[in-house]
Chains A and B, each alone.
Chain A
Amino acid sequence: MPRLSTELLVIGGGATGLGIAWDACLRGFKVVLIEQSDLGQGTSGRYHGLLHSGARYAITGPSLAHECAQENAILRRIASPAIEDTGGYFLATPADPLHYPDRWLEACKQAGLQAEEVGVAELLRREPRLSPRISRAFRVHDASLDSFDLLHMLSGSILEAGGQVLLHHRLVGFIRHGGALVAAEIEDLRSASVLRIAFDLAINAGGPWAGQIANLAGIHLPLALGKGTMVAMASRPVHSVLNRCRPPSDGDIIVPIGSVAVLGTTDIPVSHPRDMQIQDQEVDALLSEAEMLLPGSTHARILRAWAGIRPLLAPSADEDAPETRNIGRAHAIIDHEAQNGPSGIISVIGGKLTTFRLMAQECLDVVCMRLGRSVECSTATTPLEQADRRFFALPMRHRQLAHRERGDIASDLICECEFVPREDIRRTLAADSPQTLDDLRRDLRIGMGPCQAGFCAFRTAEIMAQVLPQPSQDLAAFLHERWKGLRPVAWGDTLEQMELTRRLYAELLGFSQPPGRFS
Chain B
Amino acid sequence: MTDLIIIGAGLAGLFAANMAADLGASVCLVARGRGGLSLSHGCIAVLNRAQPLRALDRLPASHPYQLAGKEALKQSVKAFASWMRAGDLHYRGRLGQSLPILQASGRSAWVNLAPPSLGQIHGRSVGVGAIEGFRDFAPQMLAQALRAKEDYRVRVLPLPLPRSSRELYAIDLAARFDDPLWRNETLRLWKPLARGLDTLILPAILGLSMHSDLFNLIQEHFGCAVLEIPTLPPSLPGLRLERALRQRAKQHGVRIIEGAPAIGRVEGPSGQARVIGIQLQSAGGPRMLSSGALLLATGGVIHGGLVALHPNRMRETVFGYPIEVQPERSAWTELSPFSPQAYAMAGLRVNTRMQPLDPAGEPLFANLYAAGGVISGSDRVYEGSRQGIDLATAYRAVQSIMEDSYH
Contact = CB atoms under 8 A, between A and B. Distances in A.
Contacts of A515: 107, 149
A139 interface: no
A462 B139 contact: yes
B232 A458 contact: yes
A516 B105 CA distance: 11
Contacts of B333: 483, 487, 490, 498
B308 A492 contact: yes
A479 interface: yes
Given A287-B310, A499-B344, A510 B105 contact: yes
When A and B form their complex, which 8 residue pairs have the shortest distance between CB atoms, in order from nearest? A510-B103, A462-B138, A512-B338, A465-B140, A510-B105, A491-B308, A509-B104, A499-B302
Contacts of A517: 107-108
B336 interface: yes
Contacts of B104: 458, 508-511
A508 B144 contact: no
Contacts of A516: 149
Interface string A478-492: 011001100110111
Given A462-B138, A491-B310, A509 B302 contact: no
Output the residue of A422, A466, A490, A515 with the most chain B CB within 10 A: A490
B381 A507 contact: yes
Contacts of A455: 232
Nearest to B328: A280
Interface stretch (A90-98, A241-249, A406-414): A406-414
A496 B104 CA distance: 23
A371 B60 CA distance: 73
B380 to A, nearest CB: 8
B148 interface: yes
Interface string B324-339: 0000111011011110
A435 B40 CA distance: 31
A500 interface: yes
Contacts of A499: 300-302, 343-344, 381
Given A501-B337, A505-B338, A507-B381, 19 more contacts: A287-B310, A459-B138, A462-B140, A462-B141, A465-B144, A471-B145, A480-B336, A488-B330, A490-B308, A490-B343, A491-B311, A492-B310, A496-B301, A502-B337, A502-B338, A502-B381, A506-B337, A511-B104, A513-B107
B330 A280 contact: yes
B335 to A, nearest CB: 8
B109 interface: yes
A459 B135 contact: yes
Interface string A407-427: 100111010000000100000
Contact of A508 (B48, B235, B310, B330): B235
A176 interface: no
Output the residue of B138, B329, B337 with the most chain A CB within 10 A: B337
Contacts of B338: 476, 502, 505-506, 512
A116 interface: no
Given A459-B135, A462-B141, A515-B107, A495 B149 contact: no
Given A499-B302, A499-B381, A503-B381, A459 B136 contact: yes
A298 interface: yes
B319 to A, nearest CB: 19
23 contacts: A280-B328, A284-B310, A459-B136, A462-B135, A462-B141, A465-B138, A471-B141, A471-B144, A483-B333, A487-B330, A490-B343, A491-B310, A491-B329, A492-B307, A496-B304, A499-B344, A503-B302, A505-B337, A506-B381, A507-B381, A507-B384, A518-B107, A519-B149
Contacts of A480: 335-337
Nearest to A455: B232
Contact of B105 (A280, A298, A422, A511): A511
Contact of A410 (B48, B106, B149, B168): B168
A334 interface: no
B311 A414 contact: no
B332 A490 contact: yes
Interface string B223-239: 00000001011010000
B381 A411 contact: no
Contacts of A488: 329-330
Interface string A104-140: 0000000000000000000000000000000000000
Interface string A239-271: 000000000000000000000000000000000
Give the contact-size bracket for chain A. Answer: 35 or more
A504 interface: yes
Nearest to B45: A507
Contacts of B233: 504, 508
Given A487-B330, A491-B310, A510 B39 contact: no
A500 B106 CA distance: 21
Contacts of B149: 515-516, 519
A330 interface: no
A297 B343 CA distance: 23
Output the residue of B135, B140, B309 with the most chain A CB within 10 A: B135
B166 interface: yes
B329 A508 contact: no
Given A459-B136, A480-B336, A509 B329 contact: no
B310 A298 contact: yes
B308 to A, nearest CB: 4
B386 interface: yes
B39 A504 contact: yes
Nearest to B104: A509
Contacts of A479: 337
Contacts of A483: 333, 335-337
Contacts of B138: 458-459, 461-462, 465
Interface string A286-302: 01000000000011000
Nearest to B42: A508
A440 to B, nearest CB: 15
B141 A495 contact: no
Nearest to B336: A480
B162 to A, nearest CB: 16
B133 interface: yes
A279 interface: yes
A435 to B, nearest CB: 15
Contacts of B308: 490-492, 495
